[in-house]
Amino acid sequence: MRNAIVQLGLVLVGVTGVHAVKLLQTASLHARVFPTEATERVWAIQGSDSVEMFGSEGDYYITTLKPGNWMIRIDAKKPYKNAGFGIFNMRAGTNRDLGEIVLTQ
């Protein structure tokens, strides 16, 4: 029984280590979009790869972006206009705050 507990502990340490290394190899983004009710979706796009950013009440984030250049696209509800801009040179292990993004009508 004691041997099984030790083996389980070693497996948990190994799995945790693998996930920690993965997080160190990725980057993260955070943005605040106003007005909050005007936003339908926020996307991070790199070539043919796209990831929807998670959010609530205007705060959007994503924690598992590959390093490189990304395009941010904000799909807005009418009468607001969609927005988009580039994020360049995202490095592994970094957290970039995009600040406040204001959608226009």
What's the structural domain count of the chain?
Answer: 1
Spatial contact of 42 and 74, defined as CB atoms under 8 Å apart = yes
Q: What's the pLDDT at 15?
A: 66
pTM above 0.95, yes or no: no
Spatial contact of 66 and 45, defined as CB atoms under 8 Å apart = no
Give the pLDDT confidence of 33-65 residue by residue, as tens digits: 999 899 999 999 998 888 889 888 889 998 888
Q: What's the pLDDT at 7?
A: 75
Please determine, for residue 91, whether its predicted confidence score (pLDDT) is greater than 60.
Answer: yes
Q: What is the CATH number of the domain that holds 35?
A: 2.60.40.10
Please determine, for residue 95, whether its predicted confidence score (pLDDT) is greater than 60.
Answer: yes
Please determine, for residue 87, whether its predicted confidence score (pLDDT) is greater than 60.
Answer: yes
Structure tokens at 41: 């979706």
Q: What's the pLDDT at 56?
A: 84
Q: What's the pLDDT at 42?
A: 93
How big is the chain, counted in residues? 105
Q: What's the pLDDT at 23?
A: 46
Domain of 86? 2-102
